[in-house]
Every structure is written in C-alpha cells, then in structure tokens.
Structure 1
Amino acid sequence: MARGETVVKSAGTEQVPDAGDVGESGGVRSVQRAFDILALLTESTPAISIGEIVRATGLAKTTVIRLVQTLEQNGLLWSTAKGYLAGPSLWRWAHLARSSWELPPETKELMRGLAQRQRETVNLYVVRDIYRVCVAQQESPQPLRHVVHVGDELPLWAGASSKILLRNSDSAHLSRVARSSPYGPDHLDALRAQIDEATERGYAYSHGERETGLSAVAVPVFGRSGTAIAALSLSGPTVRFPDDRITEFVAALIEVSGHLTERGFDHPFRM
C-alpha cells in the first residue's frame, strides 16, 4: 500500500518522528512501512527483491533501500542471491510467540472433538486493533471446508466472531472498525445493532458477510474477570448452516466454551 515517502529530520544527536511521520492511527509511518515489507514474505513468496518491494508498496526505491538496510541490520531480513529472506531474529520472535500463544493440550483436544462431532472447522479468535486474529484452529474433516491459517488477521467489520469480540469495544474503536469496512462510517449503526443483538442472545451467526457462500456461528469465551476474551466459532459452507443446524452448533459451542472458561487460559489470555 502506497503511503508516500518518509522524511527523517535531524535534531542534534537524536532523531524523532515529526508530525509528518505519524499515521492516522497514531503509529509511526516508517515503522508501519517496515512491517508492510515483512508482510510481503509468505510461504509462496519466501524471497523478495527490491524491485518487487517497490512495486508492491508504491514507495520510492531510495526509501525501500533504507528500510531494507535497517531491517537487515537488525536481523529481520537476510540478503541472498534469490532476494531477501526472513532473517534469523524472526526465528527467536516466532519461538517466543509460540510459547506465549500455544494453547494447553486439553484445550486443543476440546476443539478437536468439537470439529469431529460437528464436522465443521473450529476457530478461536482474539481482537487485535481492528482485526480478529486466529490463534487456534481445528479443521473440518469434510473435503469442502473453510480454513484460515493460525495467525491470520481478518477484519472486524464482518463475521460472527467479530460480533462477539466487539461487545467490549468503546465508541472510538467501533468507529474505526466501521470506517475500515467497505461501507465506511455509515456501517456504524448497523454494527452496533448486530453487536447488541449478539450480546443479548449469547451467540452470533453470519451468512456471506465477508465471503459469499461462507457462514459461521460464534460464542464468547470468558476470562476470569467475566470479560469475553475470545470467540469460539464453527464455520463452513452456507449450504451446511440451515437454522436447525445453527441451533445445534450453538449448543455444542456453548458447551465447549464453558469448559474452556472453567479451565482458564495461560498467558496471554489470563484476565
């Protein structure tokens, strides 16, 4: 995504971001651009060139070179003949993230059993800014199934899990989520109504809100303080989510969610 070029001003021996380097969300643009570059690395694209980064981000080549050099100096990128690969420092961070976010074996077993009994994909989502992040998944045993990768970020403006996760959001956060949707700020009232309905009902469902032909049902998982800290969902093709099945899915999800709440979560879910 093109964001223009960073200009760093020198002031004595210390460099600080000026107002022109601050993004809409309050973050620093140069930092965001660095993460945008890292985000270009995927399983299908394990190496990227300077030219590919320029085309993908729309940034000036000189800006890209400076950012890449900084990332390389900090071990976040590694230069090879094929291009820039993920650097060794990311391996240390990945190990830390896995140890922090990996769920206990008994929790995984509960999710695995739910997927096997209901034959749809089970996901556990948490909020990160205006996104919901998949932190655990058990795939449906059926050939036609809905699958996201652990770590994937999905938008909060749509989907059953979003309606569950947004129940604790304040007006400012909801406004940002609405603005991120294809409908813009006009989506705010509809979003509030959907969240209120899901909160009163105790569960949420969605049909084709984010992807045509995809449906989901979600319930909250509560922390020790009684706050919803995650959303547990079943998702799959809409054709397999008629009203009677949704009722069955809700009952199964609530049962498993209750067990998860009783067992509690290790850090970072501890509330």
Structure 2
Amino acid sequence: MPSTNNPAGSGENGGGVRSVQRAFDILSLLTEDRRTLTIREVVDETGLAKTTALRLLQTLEHMGLLWATRKGYAAGPALWRWAHLARHAWELPPETVQLMRELGERHRETVNLYVLRDVHRICIAQQESPQPLRHVVRVGDELPLWSGASSKVLLKDAPARLLARIARSSPHGEEHLATLQEWIAGAARDGYAASHGERDPGLSAVAVPVTGASGATVAALSLSGPTVRFGEERVQEFVADLREAAKRMSDRGFDHPLT
C-alpha cells in the first residue's frame, strides 16, 4: 500500500498526477443512484488494472474519502468536510436567491445557474418549477458542454483547444466543432441562447450570460422545461426577464457567488 506521504504513488515522471486523476475518476463514479462501488465496477469503468484499482481504493479508504462496506466502497466521512466547505463557498447571497425565486414564480419553469468547469457545466443553484411536467437538475450536477443553451453562453470566450475537446466528447465527434462555433457566435451576437431537444428530446432551455467586473461571462442563468411550453413568443418573454435578472446579478458583482 502506498505510504501516507505519497498516497498516490507519485514520481518525477508525472505518475503522481496520473494517480490523482485516477483517484478522482473513481470518486466520480459515485452518484445519487449508485452509492457504492465494487472493485469490478471500478475496473470495468475506468479501464484500470485490478491491482491498480485496488491500491487506489485502499488509499482513498485510508484517507477517509471512501468507506468499505459489505456491498462495496461508499463515500467516506472525510468528504463531509469538503462538502461543508463547498456549500459555504458557493452559497448564493439572499438577493440572488430571491431573483431566481421570483423568476420561477413568474414563469413557472425551472431556473438554473451554471458555471464552467473543464468540459462540463456545473449547476450551482436551482429553483424548481412547480408544474408536474418539469425539468430538474440537482445542485452539483455536471452536464456536458456540447449542447444546451447555457453551454452556448458559457463558451463565449473558450479557447479553441477546449472547444475541440468538447466536440470530441460529444456523440457527434470532431465534426461537432463547427456546430459549436456557430452556436457560440449566435449566442454572442444575440445576447442569449436557446436549445430545443439537443441533449434530451422534448426538453428546451433559454439562457443569458451573467458577467463579472471585467465583462467576461462567469455564469449562465437559464429557464428550462418541456419544449411544448417554449414557443418562440414565450422564449422572447423568457429572454427579456432573464436579461433583467442577470443584469441585476452582474451589477451587484458576480465574479464569485459570494462577492
């Protein structure tokens, strides 16, 4: 088993970085629907050798990030500290929460706030639609950037290398790059983006940028729901209200949710 001082078996050849990435890949396999992991699942889904997977699992258990049970490895108690820190670091100010609540009450659709992370967008806040047929994304969920209204808004200033990686990660492959660039240019030109069934059939969304002090896009504010409720006239109503709310968020300062 790796030593405590070098838990991931790091070395000067970059093996330590690879081990850290592999460890986080394992942790990322845990979801709301899958709360325990077997060694076989880790091997099958990461492609790691069984000995390597077992070594990393034991290291993560030793650090308290995983907990061995009879059914497999579950999230460990040490994650509570990280979860506590993250919750407080990304807890939105009351004014922002109120703006999102008012949007949801006026339009009766789900309101989400997303930020960019590598090839994903992360939901950092949500006000759920009160309607029986609605779209729901849990806070903390990571969604792909190769589609969706919020993605088009968030990727405005993305470097070419990142866009290429996002395209490769999509079901369409590298050829999706041209479509991505077209979507992003349209969102930059219009000041908003819409999507209809791009990732999930029957699901639509409208998003606008939230900007920081420098003018750069730091988040995307969106309304989403069933496509049948997102006709063109309704979309324009959503855009007008989203823009007003995003402007108020930007004006109070939004380089970070706590600012």
Overall identity of the aligned pairs, in %:
64
Within the candidate set 202, 211, 216, 2:200 is matched to 211
Q: Paired residue for 2:151, among 140, 157, 162?
A: 162
Question: What amino acid sits opposite 2:171 in the alignment?
Answer: P
C-alpha offsets along residues 100-155 of structure 1, whole Å, 9 cap, x if unaligned? 11101121111011011111100001100111111111011100000111111111
Q: Distance in 1 between the 2:34 and 2:179 partners?
A: 38
CA drift of 1:268 comes to 5.6
Q: How many angstroms does 1:209 deviate by?
A: 0.7
Pairing 1:223–2:212 present: yes
The one of 121, 131, 146 equivalent to 2:120 is: 131
Residue 249 of structure 2 aligns to a residue whose secondary structure is: helix
Deviation, 1:51, is 3.3
Q: Alignment length, in residue pairs?
A: 251
Q: Distance in 2 between matches of 1:90 and 1:15?
A: 22
Residue of 14, 18, 21 corresponding to 2:13:
18
CA contact under 8 A between 1:215 and 1:235: conserved in structure 2?
yes
For each residue in 1:13-67, what CA deviation from the matched residue of structure 2 results, as whole angstroms up to 9, or x when unmatched? x941636x59xxxxx4322221222122233332333234334434332112101
After superposition, residues 231-242 of structure 1 pair within 5 angstroms as 231-242=220-231
Q: Which residue of 2 aligns with 1:6?
A: none
Structure-1-length-normalised TM-score: 0.86
| 2:76 aligned partner | 87
Aligned to 1:143: 132
What secondary structure does 2:21 align onto? helix
1:116 matched to 2:105? The reply is: yes
**Residues 134 and 226 in structure 2, CA contact (< 8 A), matched pair in contact too:** yes
Q: SS of the counterpart of 2:32?
A: coil
Separation in structure 2 between the aligned mates of residue 181 and residue 46 of structure 1, nearest angstrom: 26
Q: CA RMSD in A?
A: 1.9
| Distance verdict in 2 for CA 1:176–1:55, change over 3 Å | closer
Q: Deviations over 1:185-237 (max 9, x none)?
A: 21112211111111111110011111111110000001111111000000011
Q: After the TM superposition, which parts of structure 1 deviate over 6 Å for at least 4 consecutive aligned residues?
A: none
**Contact 2:10 2:19 (8 Å CA) reproduced:** no
Distance, in Å, in 2 between the alignment partners of 1:190 and 1:15 is 40
Which aligned pairs between 1:1-271 and structure 2 lie closer than 5 A?
15-16=10-11, 18=13, 21=15, 28-265=17-254, 267=256
**Structure 2 unpaired stretches of 5+:** 1-8
| SS across alignment from 2:37 | coil
Distance 1:214 1:17 in 2: 48
Range 58-67 or range 247-256, more displaced: 58-67
Under a length normalisation based on structure 2, what TM-score does the superposition of the two structures give?
0.90
Q: 1:41 to 1:171 in 2, by over 3 A?
A: closer
Distance 1:162 1:260 in 2: 19
